[in-house]
Amino acid sequence: MMEPSFSLSELNRQVRNAVRDALPEAYWLRAETSDVRVNRNGHCYLEFVEKDEEGHSIIAKARGVIWSNIYRLLSPFFEQETGQQFTSGLNVLVQVTVDFHELYGFSLTVVDIDPSFTLGEIARNRQRVLKRLEEEGVLTLNRELQLPELTNLIAVISSPTAAGYEDFRDQLENNPAGFVFYTKLFPAVMQGERSEESIIAALEAIFQYGDFFHAVAIIRGGGAASDLSCFDSYNLASNVAQFPIPVVSGIGHERDVTVLDVVAHTRGKTPTAVAEIFIAHLMKTATEVEALQERLVSCTQALLVRERSDLLSLSNRLVHRSLLFLQRETAAVQHIATGARHSFRQVLQKEFAYMQEAMITSRHSARRLLDEERHRLMQVKRILHHASCEELRDERHFLENVEQFVRMVSPANVLERGYTLTLKNGKIITSSKQLHEGELIETRFRDGDVTSVVQTKGLVEGD
Amino acid sequence: MTKLSYSEAKKELEAIVKSIEAGELDVDLLTAKVKRASELITFCKEKLTTTDEELQKLLEEMA
């Protein structure tokens, strides 16, 4: 038995009627935009998607369209309100009518949009990313780096053709102080879905040079509102935050502070502003050198002045002290001299007195000695006189005896008594042997001499 | 002097200035120190305002 059947168009018409009947009004829809494209008639076609909690897999999807008459009004309004192009990857709150077309199928037609929702979503997303970076402890790493004092070697991540890049270079080159800057471009796509990946690749290329570069500038031309979502991306922010060289951002966005701006070492609103940051930094560095130079000059002068005044004061003290010393010494010498003269006189007087006394004493004692000696001599004399008288008497007595004896034995006395003396040539002869026959002899008598000749000679018996 | 980095030069310069300011410096050394400080100042200023042709060339040759 044949059940009644529909042609496809009949069925689709039934679906269309059912959808229209069931969902007759316009409804507010929360969804993420995807695959947004505008055709040459000004109609905007896109996909609405919903992702799971983790944001990995798509759990719902629907085609959408914004007719050109709506899109012409809606797009500028959205950009003005959010500072963000109407593009893919945005969480949007749109008012849609639900349509089903026999040929084109299910589709959501956008009739209105609430930009504040997107703003809120962007802000929430930023908060989420920042919180995650903070939890991972990397949020402030790049901010904590020190921009070297001499920061003039700059790696630039930019689109090579961007006007912002030219502005940046012009600003650096024409800095009024005449500072030298060296820039090296690391080209990257700065817009759209590929930008995140492209910027990270550029960072990796810079990383190859180690600490050769002093800073990295991530810049993008300003002007019309553009897709900023990549600058809120966790991956890019994580790379920048952990980059070992200070990163300065200048992505041409006046109103919002993207996650990149937060994690970057310094944020400039525009490329020109970034250039100004570098110029100002070198200005500070140069000022420090100038200040050091001034300090060097002033402290050197101060040192010399002080040394000179020290010298002067030393020489003054030297003169002063020397004079004082001389005065004191002169006074001391004078004092000593006076003292010495005085003492000398005293000594002299004392000596003189002593000598006088000695003279008196010695005269006195000499006299006494003389008296004593005289006395003693007189005594001796007396003793001698006495003793010599006695001796003389004895001697006289002795001499008288001797005289008597001598008288008795004298030849005259002997001759008296009859004895004679025989002499030859005046000499007494005592032996007959002394005489020879014929010789003349004298014979002495008491009363005269006789001369005789020896006749004979005879020996007495016993001789 | 060529091997010296900017920050090294600056540090040395600061140290010299501080030592003179503190009055620790012997006057006998002053001339030499001031001469060195002047060299360092010139070096720092040159780093800021004079193009290093070698560096420029190196950057141009970078792939």
Domain co-membership, A277 together with A137: yes
**pLDDT tens digits, A411-423:** 777 788 788 888 8
Domain co-membership, A164 together with A80: no
SS3 B52: coil
| Of B16 and A255, more confident | B16
Residue A151 lies in a domain: yes
- pLDDT averaged over every residue in chain B: 87
Write out the residue range of the structural domain in which residue A200 sits. Answer: 130-286
**pLDDT tens digits, A193-233:** 788 999 999 999 999 999 899 999 999 875 555 667 788 88
| Of A335 and A54, more confident | A335
Residue A174 lies in a domain: yes
Residue A396 lies in a domain: no
Model pLDDT, residue A462: 47
Cβ atoms of B41 and A171 closer than 8 Å: no
Read off the CATH number of the domain in which A258 is found: 3.40.50.2300
Model pLDDT, residue A463: 45
Residue A181 lies in a domain: yes
Is there a contact between B48 and A182 if contact means CB atoms under 8 Å apart?
Answer: no
Cα atoms in the Cβ-side hemisphere of radius 13 Å centred on A6: 9
| pLDDT of A59 above 80 | yes
Residue A401 lies in a domain: no
Determine which helix (DSSP H) or strand (DSSP E) holds A267, and give its type and residue range.
strand A266-267
Concatenate the DSSP letters of all residues of A135-157 into one string. Answer: HTT-TTHHHHSPPPSS--EEEEE
Pull the structure tokens for residue A348. 């002299």
Expressed in angstroms, the distance from the first to the final Cα of chain A is: 244
Is there a contact between A296 and B17 if contact means CB atoms under 8 Å apart?
Answer: yes
Pull the structure tokens for residue A62. 């629907």
Average pLDDT estimate for A261-283? 94
**pLDDT tens digits, A329-349:** 899 889 988 888 888 888 889
Model pLDDT, residue B35: 93
Report residue A365's pLDDT band, with 50, 70 and 90 as the boundaries. confident
Distance CA A345, CA A360 (A): 22
Q: In chain B, where are the structural domains located?
A: 6-61
| pLDDT of A409 above 80 | no
| pLDDT of A245 above 90 | yes
Distance CA A223, CA A269 (A): 12
- pLDDT averaged over every residue in chain A: 89
Domain co-membership, A170 together with A135: yes
Q: What are phi and psi of A301, to 5 degrees?
A: -60, -45
Model pLDDT, residue A417: 78
Domain co-membership, A215 together with A158: yes
Domain co-membership, A148 together with A91: no
Q: Percent of chain A scored above 90 by pLDDT?
A: 50
| pLDDT of A426 above 90 | no
Distance CA A202, CA A313 (A): 68
Model pLDDT, residue B43: 93
Is there a contact between B48 and A148 if contact means CB atoms under 8 Å apart?
Answer: no
Model pLDDT, residue A226: 60
Cβ atoms of A44 and A71 closer than 8 Å: yes
Model pLDDT, residue A416: 80
| CB within 8 Å of chain A, chain B residues 9-48 | 10, 13-14, 16-17, 20-21, 23, 25, 27, 30, 34, 37-38, 41, 44-45, 47-48
